[in-house]
Each structure stands twice: as C-alpha cells, then as structure tokens.
Amino acid sequence: MAWNYNQTALLREQHGKIPSAAIASLLGKSPNAIIEKANKMGLSSNLYHTVEVPLYSVINFRDEGYCAGRLGRLVEYSHKGLSWVEHQYTVARDSG
C-alpha cells in the first residue's frame, strides 16, 4: 500500500518519540513497514535504548501466552533481550 503525505508527515514527526508499533497502529500498517519507511526516509531512533519496560508487565504478558518475539515487537526490544531480563529476574528471585 502506498504512503500518502499525511502518513509520511506523521511518521517524520513521531518517529523516535513513540514506538514504531504505536505508529503502526495509528497508520494501519505493520511495524516492519514503519521501520522500513523510516529507514528509507533517513530517520533514526534510539528509542529502544530509552524505553523502560516494567518487568511485571512482561511477566503478565508471558502468563497470557505472549512469546518473547511478540513482546519484543510490541516494545521494540529484541526477543533475546527480553529473555535475558526474564532469566536474570528468575535467577535473582529464586536464589534469594
């Protein structure tokens, strides 16, 4: 699907301020389409380094059946990063 002027303007304005998954839901596009278009437009974001995800939110989503990959896409973390955080929490909680 082609991008119109309003969509590209919103992307340019909001990219780096809110997660790509949120922009995707606003525009009715996939998060991958948002990231690809932002890269083509030369936009960069360090947002994933500054977003803090409450661990209990991750645990609650996992209890609801969300996999690490799906959670990672929602909050723009890698599934490996989320799995590492869960492992560290589990080890710290169970050993203390």
- Which pLDDT score is estimated for 18? 80
Amino acid residing at 18: I
pLDDT at 42: 92
Provide the residue-wise pLDDT of the chain in tens; the chain has 96 residues. 799 999 999 999 988 888 787 788 889 898 889 989 999 999 987 765 444 566 777 778 778 888 878 877 776 666 677 777 677 665 555 555
- DSSP secondary structure, the chain, as one string: ----HHHHHHHHHHBTTB-HHHHHHHHTS-HHHHHHHHHHTT----HHHH----HHHHHHHHHTT--HHHHHHHHT--HHHHHHHHHHHHHHHHH-
pLDDT at 7: 94
Amino acid identity at 15: H
Q: In this predicted structure, what is the pLDDT of residue 5?
A: 95
Instruction: Find tokens 């699907």 and name the residue.
Output: 1
The residue ranges of every structural domain in the chain are: 5-45, 52-95
**Model-level pTM greater than 0.85?**
no
